[in-house]
Amino acid sequence: MSARGIVRRVHLWLGLSVGALFVLTGLTGSLLVFYPAIDGALHPGLARVAADARPASWQAVYDALRRAEPGRDGAWRIEVTPDGGPIPVRYYAARETRARAFAPLMLWLEPVRLTVVRRGFWGGYATTWLYDLHYRLLLEKPGALVMGIAGIVMLAMLVSGLWAWWPRPGGWRRSLAWKREAARSRRLYDWHKWAGIGSALVLVVVAATGVLLDLPDQVHPLVARASPLFATPRLRSVPNGPPLPLDTLVDRAERALPGGALAWIETPADAHGVVRVNLALPGEPSRRFPRSNVWLDPYTGRVLAVRDARRDGGGDMLLDWLHPLHDGEAFGLAGRWLAFVSGLVPAVLFVTGLWRWRVRAKARARAR
């Protein structure tokens, strides 16, 4: 058998073995591209909050959280949405889900009255369950390893498909032809071929970034060998009277990194903790999860450490781009729609490939 024939056989069996998983990750990934909007649509209580409403102060938001959940003394992570509306908040140290790798308590506050309009645990409602299915097959950390390995196999499937199709010199016109009046097997091949050609670059990028996101324990040490990675500073404060209002600390953080858009505020985990303010600086690929941070002493307001993601080394820059490339956020709304459509393509590839294989198998059986 020729090399091309071997590659075709490999592509076939990879498609039959992991094709269904490729479809699952693609379809769930398409939905997750717009999961905050979908999540909001599924919960009418959020829709009743004015879309542009904003809180009077961030300290008032924190005080409301402490009143609503008086037994939770750990750090709260408050998301600052660009357009206002319900305020999403995370509490990572929830005792109810302590046994799980990642299952924070999720709250949404009405920004004017500062009342809790929604409450739940990550993984306990539809969009986060879908996220865990896409990312870890609902299997916690072992599931991420499985998905990372499966992603490598999917990359091999994509590359083998391109290799099997790649025209010989002088054969481009014939290889790109679409035969409308051909037999069913050929028409299925054309659908499969053009779906693969048209989406190959995007699918390779999405699959490759997915592998790197699923295998941080394996990827980060390798990246660090080539370029040292930023290490989150271990900081502690010394209680010295009452803490300053969060708004004062946010203002000092914004002065430390001018031009940044406020994205997250993380309150201290205990009396010796610090406040972390997350800012999206111009040029960062992700607005929702930027990498620039300012750490402050909650009692004195002193800036303890600063990370300007624009000054990150090559390794950190690579890691910073993974998620925004994976879900298309790096290229705005157009990039998100491109990621959404690309997630539908594996279903087209799987159905046309499987259908054609069945048609050809039946034809061979009849011939025998």
Summarised one tens digit per residue, pLDDT across range 346-368 is 999 999 999 999 998 998 888 88
Average pLDDT, the chain: 94
pLDDT at 243: 96
- pLDDT tens digit sequence for 269-295: 999 999 999 999 999 999 999 999 999
Q: State what percent of residues in the chain have pLDDT above 90.
A: 88
- pLDDT: which is higher, 2 or 313: 313
d(CA 285, CA 328): 10
Q: Which of 108, 62, 114, 110 is nearest to 249 (CA)?
A: 62
pTM for this predicted structure: 0.91
Residue 328 has pLDDT above 80, yes or no: yes
- pLDDT: which is higher, 132 or 177: 132
- pLDDT tens digit sequence for 66-76: 999 999 999 99
d(CA 54, CA 293): 22
Of 21-35, 249-263, 353-367, the range with the lowest mean pLDDT is 353-367
d(CA 319, CA 230): 11
- pLDDT tens digit sequence for 210-241: 999 999 999 999 999 999 999 999 999 999 99
pLDDT at 357: 93
pLDDT at 364: 86
- Give 136: exposed, middle or buried? Use CB within 10 Å, 0-12, 13-18, 19+: buried
Token pair, residue 131, equals: 């996220």
Q: State what percent of residues in the chain have pLDDT above 70.
A: 100
- pLDDT: which is higher, 191 or 2: 191
pLDDT at 179: 81
Tell me what the mean pLDDT of segment 90-113 comes to: 95
Tell me what the mean pLDDT of segment 82-108 comes to: 95
